[in-house]
Structure 1
Amino acid sequence: MAFPPLTPTSGGLFDGWSWSADPLTAAGVLLAAVCCAAFGLWWNPPPGGRGRRLAVVLLRLAAVAVVALLALGPERRREGDPEPVPLPVLLDVSESMTVGDAGPDAEGRLDAALAVLRRWEEGRPLSVRPFAASLAPPAPLEGVAAVALDRAATDPAAAVRAALGEPAVRRAGALVVVTDGRSTVGPAGRLSAAADAARDAGVRLLIVGAGEPDPLGTPRLAALTATRPLGPGEPVEIAARWTFADGTPAPPPRFTATLTDRTDGSAAAAGPATVGPNGGATFAATVVPPAAGPRTYGLTLSVRGEPIPDAGGSLTIDVPGGTTRVLLLADRPRHEVRFLQSLLEREPTVDLTAAVGDAPRPPDGEAFDVRIVVGAADEGGGLPFASATSGGRIVVTTAPAGPPAERAFMEPTAVVPTAAGWRLGLFAAAPPPIFGAPPDAPPDPAAATLATAGGAPLITLRRTGRGAQLTILSPQTWRWRGEATEGSNAAEDVHRRFWLAAVRLAAAAPEETPALRVEPTTVEAGGVARVFAEGSGATAVRIEGPGVTRSLPLTADGSVTIENLPPGRFRLSPVGAAAVGAAAGGAAELTVTAPPAEGARPSPDRADLQRAAERSGGRFLPLADAAGAPRFLPSPPRLPAAATTERPAETAWPALLIAGLLCGEWLLRRRGGGV
């Protein structure tokens, strides 16, 4: 028969004690002890009077009771007080942290950070690890300045990744990073590059930003673009976008952007640069180049009339001049042909030759800048475009969009220009819809889509060594003359602008419309650029530069991401059996600059610090507010201390007690004459 172990008692003398022996064993031990004690008293009875004999019996029974208790195996477990887990702290000790933010005699950022950490340490334990180019072991606050580190470089992201590998950091669930956020290894060293790794490890980044940011946010020109010019006197839309290296200023100041025509020094346009909800500033203006040829416009950004350094840029627009020879071929005089012929005949910059229906064609050897083919028209000599005289080509297909019963009741279909269509200047505003969807056609992997209708390609661009070919898969652009258009006062302008832009694009030299587009064209080492192969026929992009020669395959959308390139200038070219060559405008360039040296940018990278804290699920706090914000720190988790077990049998006092009881019995017997 099995007996359960005796559970701990509660209350009284034996509160919290447990017994390792089962009741049957305890009863046996106690019975044996009592028998031994009785036999001893019977064998050697105590001498003296009645009181002396009673005392001897009590002493003997007390000794027996102590032995019986020890045989039961008593023990008591004591739980230790929980200990708080030290909060891990990474402290930036690079050279940029030694500067003061209010003059050369002001307290340095590192001294201010140490003062905050000392105040925090009064309420909870900290584990401080200094870092700069690398991460050092934990050090006391008084010895941080003496830690041997390369302070001429900073890599905050590498320090965070190294700390995430420590079990103590993952156990704490939070990591405090005190830094100005400046990286000397490029974007790969910024804290935002390690935010995802921290979130995946279950660690929140509690970032304390050291340093006073630029009150204007340090605006930097991120993009300056212009629509493709159609000719002298034609409007050109110029757009600029700025980002803020030190975070969006709040409240945002009144920025003013000014465009200056550097050809004659005149002011071309001016207006406010609006700070949007995405954290950047934008500016848009319309200029009208008065003459053909290259024209350079300079852009400045100012506040209260004072230009902001390093926030401007320039843009050169090549305004086409002369006359473009266009041959219009059509199988019959449909609406698309009539409106297009009327439009091009009125344009002074277009020399149009039309051959519609049975009209005679020009001689095969006559050269044209652009051929427009509508329907099943014969281009002359039965030669395909690839074998004909070089030049641009625009093909307008006239295949029906559906069965006759469906075509009678076709619903309007919205036309959506793609990013390439906007960039190449085919549209200045969203065009009116067409009726029905474009016919199903086999996709051309070497063509770039410039506009879609109903989710299907409507306008595509295909580049070859002889020129560009635009394909319009529905003969309905004539409808754009009479439909109201959002953002345009005259709907006819949409039709005119589209066709003039299409003719200019088809007639342009390959180098004027490069097949590879790089955004941005200049990045810091460790940064990311994206390449778009628009109608180049490429399947991959080849990269050639200092110490780098490799090819990257294009994704399904005809783009590829390029990253981790060293400083230098790199040549990008399309690769593929149908790819347009470098001589046909297939090449592009990407410039990779070296990261700024330590201390080159005194203001903190607050925008990146805030982004890193948000992505990791943590919080951001300026250093100036950190000392008085104890709630910024999370509640410290506590580790239970090791429990201790008390066992009387492992101590000396039971033996001393038994010896004392036996000695007392011996003394009583001696006084009674029994010894």
Structure 2
Amino acid sequence: MVVTLAQSARWTIGWQADIPAWGWVLVILLITAVVAWAYTRLNGPPRARAAAATCRVLALLLIALLLAGPELIWSIDRTEPDRVEILIDRSLSMTLSDTRRDLDGQNLTRDQAARQALAELDQWVLTRPDGTESRNRNTAWSAFSDSIHTIEPRPDTWPEPTGRSTRIVNALRQTLNRNNQETLAGWVIVTDGRSDKALPPELLEQLEQQATPIHAVILGGASTITDVAIVDVQAPDAVFLGDRVPVRVTLEGNTESQPTQVRLIDKNTGNTLAQATTSQTTARLAARPEEPGDQTWVVQITTDNDQVPQNNRREITLRVVDRPVRVLLVDGYPRWEFRFLKNLLLREQSVELSSLLLSADRGFAQEGDRPIQRLPEEQAELEPYDLIILGDIPPAFLSDRQNQLILEHVGKRGAGLIWLGGPEHTPASFADTPLTPLLPTLDPAAITQRSVADTPFVIHTAPAAETLGLLEPQALETRRGMVWIQALTQLKPTAEPLLLAHHPDDAEPLPAVVWMRYGAGQVLYLATDEWWRWRYAQGETPYSRFWLPLVRLAVRDRLDRARDNQPTLTVNPAVARVGQTVIIRYDGPSDATPRITLEPRTSNAPRQTRDLLPDADGPFLRWSLPFLAGTPGTWDIRTENDGPATQLTVLDDSPEFRHTQPDRQRLLTLTQRTGGQLYDLDDASRIAGAIPSRARTIVEETRKPIWSSWPIFLAILTLLTAEWITRRWAGLS
């Protein structure tokens, strides 16, 4: 609302020379005395001399006045109105229905309740403490959420609440720094107080120093909103057909007050793949894809009386690969673990095996789907293998070239490595060798062997195994039989135990299987070679349930690499939240220079073109690019020249629904520190008269010099002429 400036005007006389009154008295006396002295010396009639002297005195006084610089001053008194900033919250939390009930008994949203109750807010702000309307105040209305923009004061014209966050601090700073000639008298903020940033102390101090009160109208009911939200979903991006895919769901909200049902649904068929009921903040599901190709799974949660259904669903995408895992198995001698593992992998249709036994005679026929007679010595020979299993072999068997090939194959090309510990060489003999970085312990030479005679070790899963979806619960039921294990101590910070070996005589369990990431690949270390004992009286099933998940886990990162000379473009994760950084990766021939375009399919965001950065080398190079998912919707990502393409889905997972209770304490702090008040919605009319006036009266003057005006010169000329005529007529001399 704009108020016309009140004003009044008047004329006055002013002077350029600031001469005090006593100065003018002296001037008058001096002129009078000089003129009187001059005329007393003349002979003539007294009346004539008095008349002539009077003309001269008046003429000299006029000249003195002209020398003082007389001015005609036109003064206008202008009243400058003050300004009240009115900020209306337009974030998504305004859509929550927890404020009051309508005539039908249904809860109104915070936005609906505010529109109804604040229809006269503009008039309340303009009201003086005496109840009359102030004509010296303007109001500036703004809607704020992620940003701030001007709106009309009528509630029926307010924009819909669609903002993803409530940035009170930014709104205050922008309105405080507006280039406006009006004096800021205060703020009125209509909000629930839930902001994504704390109130900065320096801003509060600035507001206190300005003594500009903030009055807040709080929206939202006092009762607790029942809400459980999906905060995060973690799952592999690529898996083998038939793999057990772990899905970890992180929840937030009222999970303890009521159980939450979590379902994993195939989006294409609508079938429920897995489900669980939890009262915790974490739920773990697992399912096996039955078809190859790209698949979309949906995580859906259900609770009783959930008032915020917008955050109950999340999609994940999987690339299901249907090809055998290519494994290179190397061991020093034909121990039982090597024999049973080799036979298991040979029978497994999803594995393509090459095995090499170092102690075999020269004429021994090495076994495998792809038999070999020596270890690969060139990158082209090692490249086909997804997984390397190194048993109890002497380090001297590996040349420097082969050590370097293994390091690069795991670290740069994403291959997996499984160490199968043994009593002779692994891991102690690999201390201070080129492959030491691939071991999960800080001091391999200090590893000792722990043997038991009567009571064997019992194996249990560690928390990391459940997170990685390594083993099904029934895979380790009553698994015993281990009579020796290496005491792995001083694990590297990046290493995590997956399985633990318990013994009644030990105070702490020993790591039996340790997982570690090395560069682009994964490393697993098995601290014993007695896993074959699980076959006793139970057949192949327990043994295969242990080994095959390990094999697939170790090569999971390898699935992100280009295969069979076909370039690939992937994005991880393929489904992201607004504000989350995703990694776009391209694997292609070494002579390619990748450039990608990102084009939104469901929004008006601009099309983007980006250059990727080199990430890893090899026959196929890897480039990558971090990309901030800022606009919700579906993005088509393509390489130039009709190369591979992929999609990114950005979900508008607004934090407005994570903490839905009104933040009364924040608003109390803001209002009390600035001298304002906090009002409930029903008491908002008390704002009338609460904001003191800061309107200012400003005097504007227009000065016009009058010393050069012709009437003044005419008056002086007239007086001097009159004196001359009088002197001539009276014969004064």
TM-score using structure 1 length? 0.48
Q: What TM-score do you get using the length of structure 2 for normalisation?
A: 0.45
